Structure 1
Amino acid sequence: MLPFLMQMRLDDATEEYTELTKKVIKGIENLSRLREEDIEIGVTPKEVVYREDKLVLYHFQPMVEERLNIPVLIVYALVNRPFMVDLQEDRSLVANLLKLGLDIYLIDWGYPTRADRWLTLDDYINDYINNCVDFIRTKHSLDKINLLGICQGGTFSLCYSSIYPEKVKNLIVMVTPVDFQIPDALLYMRGGCTVGAEALDIDLMVNSLGNIPGDFLNFEFLMLKPRQLGIQKYLDFPEIMHSEDKLLNFLRMEKWIFDSPDQAGEAYRQFLKDFYQANKLIKGELMIGDKPVNLSNLSMPVLNLYAEKDHLVPPTSSIALERYVGTNDYTVRSFPVGHIGMYVSGKVQRDLPPAIADWLKVRAD
């Protein structure tokens, strides 16, 4: 007999089994009724205002009449779809910011194909991001706009704002890697922050594969917490599937996690070699195309938001930013969650959007 059954009375075990069976039956009924559109993400109303190659720039419809006169451009990472910031109606960073009077734009990088194999960080930062910023500046007749960079998109935003400080009014970075020499972080170690190319021969990888498959990167992230992310959540699934709300939450998250675009080979090569393996961002040695990146050029106000339990971007990596920026108006704030919790935690969604909106409104002039 299994040990856990030996510790339970037969009637207790029977009752638990009966309750679980009821939940599973109800869960099967819920699953049978679901349609694809029921687990749609990124549902806050928006319109396409600019396209370039695979990139799409969205403008979200305002939710209040009185709005901040300087719009915010959200720059997300390349590795996942950007709609984690708009996962569902009651857990949407975008919707909550709109309700607080912010004017929001969002870059959707799309899905790179073999035709994009040779795209570089120069293309992403000096062309794509810069073209989106210029489009918004022209549309609103502004010299500067606000940037909100998230995860790798935050690193891109740091580079962009260093190169083009005259175009950025306020800079917000969220769960953003800055110092890549973090030897106790599994993702950073795998990228080569400790032993460089001996940890990962990125040249061999890109030369062999061209674009880096999104499924490979997704598997890599899942294996950072294999029990929690690869096993335990599915073992817990029968306990939640009877609740339609919890079931939909689970399925929306799964849809986002496994919707992983491939990575343009050359851009991935430079990001791994220059950031993870050489840590050039904080050393002042980074070049994006022919333009040097120096974090001391960040003279605009900076708000740095990080997750205290982040296993992808360790807090020490994000906190390091303060040592390198050139601004005197620097604010840092933490939240007691993990990387994904910054988007989906109910408590964070209560506190984070006002923190962003209030910080920007004070610096609107």
Structure 2
Amino acid sequence: MPKNLHPAAQVLEEMNALNLKLARGHRMLQRIKDEQVKIATADKEVVLRQDKTTLYRYKPTAKRRIGTPVLVAYGQVGRYTMTDLQEDRSLLRNLLSLGVDVYAVDWGSPSRGDRWLSFEDYVEVYLAGCVEHICAAHGLPAINLLGICEGGDFSLCYAALHPQRIRNLILTITPVDFHQDQAEGRPGHGLINLWARSLEDEDIERLIEANGNLPGELMSHAFSQMTPAASLSKYNLGLLDTFDDEGKLLNFLRMEKWLADRPDHPGEAAKQLLINLYKNNELARGEFRIGERTVDLRAITSPVLNVYAKDDHIIPPPTTRALGALVGTRDYTELGLPGGHVGVFVSGKSQGVLGKGIVDWLGARD
């Protein structure tokens, strides 16, 4: 832009530049096809189905370096597809390229008919079924389990109840002590914790009763309210910033596709998550029950790698790092990564750190 323009001329120049940028963006959006915005495209096959739960095994892309397979278990609040958002931003592809035999569990899309599914179903039926299948397929007594977010809580419960089936346990951005959200005094961190504690048990029960499940749309709204400025500006300022680079625009659209595909959370399991864990903090207190059994984290004696995001406003680091004082293993390692809750998996900086950190840790214990 020429210097020393009259203010009115400068405004016209800026408006012209903005209009040209909007026109470029419009042309790019018209040119982009649906198949370019696909996510979770790593080559895989279905090896087990139980009701709506599907177990995938991924096709190897490199010589096997880690002998024991890794099962990836995401939570119910989002989909496992976050771990394979696109080719160059994929935890699963990174693990495959480093010689890991990777499995992943997809919980499917719960409907109102699944409202009575509980933590016991997901831990002792679906997750347990996946573990048993992998052990039988490989002739192994135990596997490596990698739990993410709420899937990390499923994994902790399973590892505590079936320690003989877990060779190594990896957790990423997993809440453990749900009352540690204010430990660092960081405003805006842990608002889901505050929201859950502000509700009476009856409020949560009425919410589930009215909907059958915990609606995915409600959780999407709750997450968007945690970063209101970013949520309000992403479709104007954020989207506008991508109009100079088609690759950035595709990244933006893939993330939006993942965010728009948030499933409902089965009602009974959602009540346990909000009341037993968020409100009553029963997992950290050693009081959480799966069926007739109490989950005692001290029963976890396998090596544990606990990965957290240093700027995670959804699962604040202290809620995750509390695990070190609660598990029974002496082989406990923490890995803190820069970035936020989702950035750990999809940011450019994390691509060379998270997968390699996991594989190096596993390699020393394989």
Contact (CA 8 Å) 2:64, 2:101: kept in 1 or not? Answer: no
Please tell me whether residue 128 in structure 1 is matched to residue 126 in structure 2.
yes
Could you say which residue in structure 1 is the equivalent of 2:161?
A: 163
Q: CA deviation at 1:63?
A: 0.5
Contact (CA 8 Å) 1:48, 1:59: kept in 2 or not? Answer: yes
Please tell me whether residue 189 in structure 1 is matched to residue 201 in structure 2.
no
> Which of 269, 274, 277 is 2:276 aligned to?
274
Give the secondary-structure state (helix, strand or coil) at the position aligned to 2:250: helix
Output the amino acid matched with 2:242: I
TM-score normalized by the length of structure 1:
0.94
Give the secondary-structure state (helix, strand or coil) at the position aligned to 2:168: strand
Could you say which residue in structure 2 is the equivalent of 1:94?
A: 92
Alignment of 1:168-247 (within 5 A): 168-182=166-180, 184=182, 185-192=190-197, 195=198, 197=200, 201-247=203-249
- The whole-number CA distance in structure 1 between the counterparts of 2:303 and 2:146 is 12
- The whole-number CA distance in structure 2 between the counterparts of 1:340 and 1:10 is 43
Could you say which residue in structure 2 is the equivalent of 1:352?
A: 354
Please tell me whether residue 334 in structure 1 is matched to residue 336 in structure 2.
yes
Report Cα offsets for 1:227-253 as digits up to 9, x if no partner: 112334533312312421011000000
Q: CA deviation at 1:277?
A: 0.8
- The whole-number CA distance in structure 2 between the counterparts of 1:327 and 1:196 is 35
Output the amino acid matched with 1:176: T
Q: CA deviation at 1:12?
A: 3.5
Contact (CA 8 Å) 1:152, 1:177: kept in 2 or not? Answer: yes
Report Cα offsets for 1:316-365 as digits up to 9, x if no partner: 1011001101011000010111111101111111111110000001100x
Could you say which residue in structure 2 is the equivalent of 1:50?
A: 48
- The whole-number CA distance in structure 2 between the counterparts of 1:236 and 1:264 is 33
Could you say which residue in structure 2 is the equivalent of 1:73?
A: 71
Report Cα offsets for 1:149-176 as digits up to 9, x if no partner: 0011111111110011000000000011
Give the secondary-structure state (helix, strand or coil) at the position aligned to 1:249: helix
- The whole-number CA distance in structure 1 between the counterparts of 2:349 and 2:42 is 20
Output the amino acid matched with 1:164: H
Could you say which residue in structure 1 is the equivalent of 2:186?
A: none
Q: CA deviation at 1:80?
A: 1.1
> Which of 311, 314, 327 is 1:312 aligned to?
314
Could you say which residue in structure 2 is the equivalent of 1:256?
A: 258
139-148 or 62-71, which deviates more: 62-71
Could you say which residue in structure 2 is the equivalent of 1:4?
A: none
Report Cα offsets for 1:178-237 as digits up to 9, x if no partner: 111135421101111xx5627x72111112221121111111111111111233453331
Structure 1 segments of 4+ aligned residues over 6 angstroms from their partners: none
- The whole-number CA distance in structure 2 between the counterparts of 1:348 and 1:183 is 24
- The whole-number CA distance in structure 1 between the counterparts of 2:95 and 2:325 is 29
- The whole-number CA distance in structure 1 between the counterparts of 2:129 and 2:225 is 36
Contact (CA 8 Å) 1:23, 1:239: kept in 2 or not? Answer: no
Q: CA deviation at 1:68?
A: 1.6
Report Cα offsets for 1:12-58 as digits up to 9, x if no partner: 33333222222211111111112111100001111111001111111
Output the amino acid matched with 1:245: G
Q: Once the two structures are aligned, what percentage of the paired residues are identical?
A: 44
- The whole-number CA distance in structure 1 between the counterparts of 2:31 and 2:345 is 27
- The whole-number CA distance in structure 1 between the counterparts of 2:199 and 2:262 is 26
- The whole-number CA distance in structure 1 between the counterparts of 2:130 and 2:288 is 23
Contact (CA 8 Å) 1:112, 1:261: kept in 2 or not? Answer: yes
Output the amino acid matched with 2:200: A
Output the amino acid matched with 2:194: M
43-52 or 182-191, which deviates more: 182-191
Give the secondary-structure state (helix, strand or coil) at the position aligned to 2:47: strand
TM-score normalized by the length of structure 2:
0.94
Contact (CA 8 Å) 1:309, 1:338: kept in 2 or not? Answer: yes
Q: 1:207 to 1:66 in 2, by over 3 A?
A: closer
Give the secondary-structure state (helix, strand or coil) at the position aligned to 2:67: coil
207-216 or 301-310, which deviates more: 207-216
How big is the alpha-carbon RMSD for the aligned residues of Structure 1 and Structure 2?
A: 1.4
Give the secondary-structure state (helix, strand or coil) at the position aligned to 1:201: helix
Q: Which runs of 5+ in 2 are unaligned?
A: 1-5, 183-189
> Which of 288, 291, 296 is 2:290 aligned to?
288
